[in-house]
Amino acid sequence: MKNSGKVVFNKKTGEGLYHLRLAVKKRFKAKPAQFINVKVSDTVVPLLRRPFSIFSAEKKELDLVYKVIGEGTRLLSEKKKGDAVDFIGPQGNTYPVDLKDKKSKLIIIGGGTGAASVHFLANELKKSKRKFTLIQGARNKRLIVAEKEFKKLGCLFATEDGSLGTRGYVTDVLKKVLEPNAVIYACGPEPMIKAVKRITEKMDDVKFYASFEAYMGCGIGACISCVIPVGVADNFVYKRVCKEGTVFDVSEVVI
């Protein structure tokens, strides 16, 4: 669905990190792990829209957290208060959360800008009074996404240089809190997803779902640039992250 909004603020929050808030005309109904495809320029450069995970969707406000890594995100970072932003969405599926299941421990993990996706999930779970453990990791404190907002959710941090929280990786924190019958939800770089999978695949009673980050050329499933292999190593099919995802059962993904 095509939408538009106006910039409320677009502020720098860390090393290359920005927090963008859009005011939309009507309540924007979205679910955690869904994304929007943003037209970052009024010219043909860059030609394609850019996909962004939704950080939060409250009433008539839509928030994104992103990192400047190329021309598209650089152009987005230059948007000022009052500028119009054209986007398509929400798109994609969501994390499979059973709110009636009070026995399973919920563990939520975010790495890099993937933390935006899990912030949305954690915030929604808090509203439903569902308990969870939230973990965010980055190389250093300057790369932590929305530190203040995550602290409000009781987040446990891990940084490689020890500048915030545990010195090390999200997996170091995970090992301390992981319990039998846990359900893990995550979003972040593939090496992080792979490291968590190595831990969880040794435990038959732990479920692991992740929202995958992939290059989405069109964001609507037509270009097939965001496929990932689903199945087993010698027998798999490719599924589109933008259409069949973004969330997959990681036990079924070949990584």
Beta bridge partners of 131: none
The more confident residue out of 245 and 43 is 245
165: left (phi over 0), alpha (psi -120 to 50) or beta: left
Q: What is the pLDDT of residues 154-164, one digit of tens each?
A: 999 999 999 99
CA-based torsion, 112, 176, 245, 19: positive or negative? negative
Angle at 39 between CA 225 and CA 60, to 5 degrees: 115
The residues, any chain, with a CB within 8 Å of residue 90's CB and separated by 6 or more, are 1, 28, 29, 30, 31, 34, 35, 36, 54, 57
Kind and range of the H or E run holding 57: strand 56-58
Q: What is the CATH number of domain 106-213?
A: 3.40.50.80
- Listing DSSP states for 125-185 in one string gives HHHTT---EEEEEESSGGG-SSHHHHHHTTPEEEETTSSSSEES-HHHHHHHH--TT-EEE
The whole-number pLDDT of residue 202 equals 85
The whole-number pLDDT of residue 176 equals 97
Q: How far apart are CA 57 and CA 111, in angstroms?
A: 20
Banded model confidence at residue 63, pLDDT cuts 50, 70, 90:
very high
Q: How many CB atoms lie within 10 A of CB 250?
A: 20
Banded model confidence at residue 41, pLDDT cuts 50, 70, 90:
confident
The ranges assigned to domains in the chain are 2-90, 106-213
Q: How many CB atoms lie within 10 A of CB 182?
A: 19
> Does 17 have pLDDT greater than 80?
yes
Residue 104 token pair: 């399973």
Q: What is the CATH number of domain 2-90?
A: 2.40.30.10
Q: Are 115 and 146 in contact (CB under 8 A)?
A: yes
Q: In the chain, which ranges are continuous DSSP H helix?
A: 71-77, 115-127, 147-152, 170-177, 190-200
The whole-number pLDDT of residue 113 equals 92
Q: Do 2-90 and 106-213 agree at the fold level?
A: no
Q: What is the pLDDT of residues 18-36, one digit of tens each?
A: 999 999 988 888 999 999 9
Angle at 27 between CA 24 and CA 31, to 5 degrees: 105
Angle at 245 between CA 243 and CA 251, to 5 degrees: 145
Per the prediction, the chain carries an average pLDDT of: 94
Banded model confidence at residue 221, pLDDT cuts 50, 70, 90:
confident
